[in-house]
A and B are shown apart, each in its own frame.
Chain A
Amino acid sequence: MHDYSLDRLAQGLREGEFSSVELTRSYLDRISALDGQYNAFITVDEEAALAAAAEADQRLATGDATALTGIPIAHKDIFCTRSLRTSCGSRMLDNFVPPYDATLIQKLNQAGAVILGKTNMDEFAMGSSNENSYYGPVRNPWNTETVPGGSSGGSAAAVAAGLAPVATGTDTGGSIRQPAAFCGITGLKPTYGRVSRLGMVAYASSLDQAGPMARSAKDCAVMMNTIAGHDPADSTSAQEVVPDYCANLEQPLEGLRIGLPREYFGEGLQGDVAQVIDAALKELEKLGAKLQEVSLPHSALTIPAYYIIAPAEASTNLSRFDGVRYGHRCEDPADLHDLYTRTREEGFGAEVKRRILVGTYALSAGYYDAYYKKAQQARRLIRQDFLDCFEQVDLIAGPTTPGTAFALGAKTADPVAMYLEDVYTLAANLAGLPGLSMPAGLADGMPVGLQLLAPHFAEQRLLQTAHLFQQTTDWHQHRPAGIKAGGQS
């Protein structure tokens, strides 16, 4: 059961093979038995989960069920859930119980999905290893001495370890794709604005995007059918028509042109990762795709532009945490200034403080033009590179990350080394493009992710390509040692 696809689970529920209460109970039992090893969850509310499952069972009985009714799901702890603590991995929000649901949560609840709990993450989604969480690091189920990636590390680990059939994540610079790669699952970052940001704690508003993290491209497509769409309450959400993401999954790849940016295959890419990527690309070629080299000449600007724009927006967004309306407040403030500065000193962790300071610096008088404006200009150049490429090819492919999951603690002493981890994923956020990471093979026993990037709103093409790859290969079905199909570990 813990290896079933969403379709298979929905079938089992519809046909009465198991009830949602039974299914939910079995996942809750797995979480309580196994999550001590991984720390993937921050909050699990068993009672609420079982109540939602019982409600789903009633809906299933009346035939009023959707593709997700009764299916347990884990949510990144960045999405506001009414009456369920939403910490965002921070001491600042350790006591925060939202009075409303994020739009994504509302849609999934309405579809009948059952919330198992809230998953661990880098504080305020700032990090690439899940080591910046107030609740401690998450461990990678493939090797618990390594990181699961970040910032959606808890969601990735939960799916990889079979603690949830599917999860949600958010991606500001790779935070869905990089942990998906490290944990051997499939993750989709949709086009900017495709999924509502309402009720998703803001990090960098012009980059943030929510998406599914699952065992397969098909499961991601099922999720997209529920979560995508315009939200009048999110002024940046896109108004484009939402297609049926499951409709063209089986359409052959014949003639699909895939561009391989030479900048993504050069220095810095680990040799055994490059080999796995090459083999996966050959597989895509066998499926009918045509590979050709392309160039993204402004790639070198990606990391610097991102690490100005994201901190600048973060410094603005995080100014709302002032100890007055919700969240942490310091004890016995002497005056208002002391209330603000001490609340923020105590509430935020080291990486969040660094990004707030870098962002404040980049936006401050005398530096705005040299940093923020310059980065926004570079951002346009980076996007133009992609638009030019998509004149020649239908998709872009390459490694999701330069290496496989690294050891816990290996990069915590050097923020810059950690930032370089995101070298292949950041550009999609700057350009607003959809991107997907899928398991492409193993290097030294650890999962390698292949990243596919598509033009704006071409998520279907990503899902179709990944789905066909997953029909002829079984990398997405590999599980960490000890995580067996059928449940017992």
Chain B
Amino acid sequence: MAIEQDEIEKIAELARLRIPPGEINELTERLTGILALVDQLQAADTSGVEPMSNPLDAVQLLRPDAVTESNQRDAFQAIAPAVEEGLYLVPRVIE
């Protein structure tokens, strides 16, 4: 399936990736090639096959609902680009 440029722009927006205007043509070509490869799957008969999300068909493990971690906010925020008084800073969202 060929993918159109406007579709790439839409998924790039969903993925929060800016695509510089000069790169969109090449990207369209590359993604069209990749989608042609994965489209080979459409020929497979998978009717009645249950989708597999874990190779061991494992289910989510549960642990006792108890506090096991200590607060490490200072260590985690020490590597953040911008923090103030224990909060992460981002550009103003509400004017």
A residues apposed to B, CB below 8 Å: 96-99, 191-193, 206, 232, 235-236, 238, 298, 300-301, 303-305, 307-308, 315, 319, 322-327, 329, 333-342, 344-345, 348, 353-354, 356-358, 360-362, 364, 370-371, 373-381, 383, 414-416, 419, 429-433, 456
Cα–Cα distance between A335 and B93 once the two chains are bound (Å):
7
* Nearest CB on B from A260, distance (A): 23
Q: Which of B7, B16, B31 contacts A358 (CB 8 A)?
A: B31
- Report how far A287 CA is from B93 CA in the complex, Å: 69
A358-B35, A416-B37 given; name 10 further pairs at CB < 8 Å.
A206-B54, A206-B55, A327-B81, A341-B18, A345-B18, A353-B27, A374-B42, A376-B51, A377-B52, A432-B54
What's the nearest-Cβ distance from chain B to residue A104, in Å? 19
Say whether B17 contacts A353, CB under 8 Å. yes
A209 to chain B, nearest CB (A): 10
Beta-carbon contact of A340 and B16 below 8 Å? yes
Contact B54 A99, beta carbon cutoff 8 Å? no
Partner of A430 from the list B19, B55, B79 (CB cut-off 8 Å) is: B55
Q: With contacts defined as CB atoms under 8 Å apart, how many contacts are there between chain A and chain B in the complex?
A: 171
Q: Which residue of A lies closest to B63 (CB)?
A: A232
Interface residue? B58 (CB, 8 A): yes
Q: What number of B residues sit within 8 Å (CB to CB) of A? A: 52
* A354-B30, A381-B49 known; A99-B76 Cβ under 8 A: yes
Cα–Cα distance between A96 and B79 once the two chains are bound (Å) = 7
Tell me, in angstroms, the Cα distance from A334 to B18 when the chains sit together: 14
CA distance A162 to B85 in the complex (A): 48
B58 touches A193 (CB 8 A): yes
B35-69 toward A: CB 8 Å interface, digit per residue (1/0)?
11111111010100111111110101101000000
**Closest partner residue, chain A, to B15 (CB atom):** A360
CB distance from B19 to the nearest CB of A (A): 7
**In the complex where A324-B80, A324-B81 touch, is A375 in contact with B3 (Cβ < 8 A)?**
no
The reply to whether B80 and A326 form a contact with Cβ atoms under 8 Å apart is: yes
Q: Are A354 and B55 in contact (CB under 8 A)?
A: no
B2 at the interface (CB under 8 A from A): no
Per the bound structure, the CA–CA distance linking A310 and B84 in Å amounts to: 37
Residues of chain B within 8 A (CB-CB) of A333 are 91
A236 touches B58 (CB 8 A): yes
Does B82 contact A432, Cβ atoms closer than 8 Å?
no
- Please, which residues of chain A bring their CB within 8 A of the CB of B54? 192, 206, 236, 432
Chain A residue contacts of B51, Cβ below 8 A: 373, 376-377, 379-380
